Amino acid sequence: MTPFRLEPLGPDHDRAAFHCGEEALDRYFQTQVTQDTRRRAARCFVAVETDTGRITGFYTLSAAGLSLEDLPPDALKHLPRYPMCPAVRIGRLAVDHRFRKRGIGEALLGDAAARFAESDVAAPLLLVDAKNEQVATFYQRYGFRPMPGAPRTLFLTYATARKTLLQHRGSE
Domains along the sequence of the chain with CATH: 4-170 (3.40.630.30)
Which residue(s) pair with 89 in the sheet?
Answer: 62, 127
Q: How far apart, in Å, are the Cα atoms of 116 and each of 3, 46, 64, 101, 121?
A: 24, 16, 12, 25, 9
pLDDT at 14 exceeding the cut of 50: yes
% of the chain beyond a pLDDT of 90 = 64
Alpha helices in 18-152 (DSSP H): 23-27, 33-38, 104-118, 133-140
The pLDDT confidence band at residue 167, using thresholds 50, 70 and 90, is low
C-alpha 172/C-alpha 169 separation (Å) is 6
**The one-letter amino acid at 37:** T
Q: Note the pLDDT tens digit of each residue in 100-151.
A: 999 999 999 999 998 998 888 888 889 999 999 999 999 999 999 998 888 8
User: Taking residues 13-36, what's their average pLDDT?
Assistant: 96
pLDDT at 169 exceeding the cut of 70: no
pLDDT at 58 exceeding the cut of 90: yes
User: Taking residues 62-71, what's their average pLDDT?
Assistant: 86
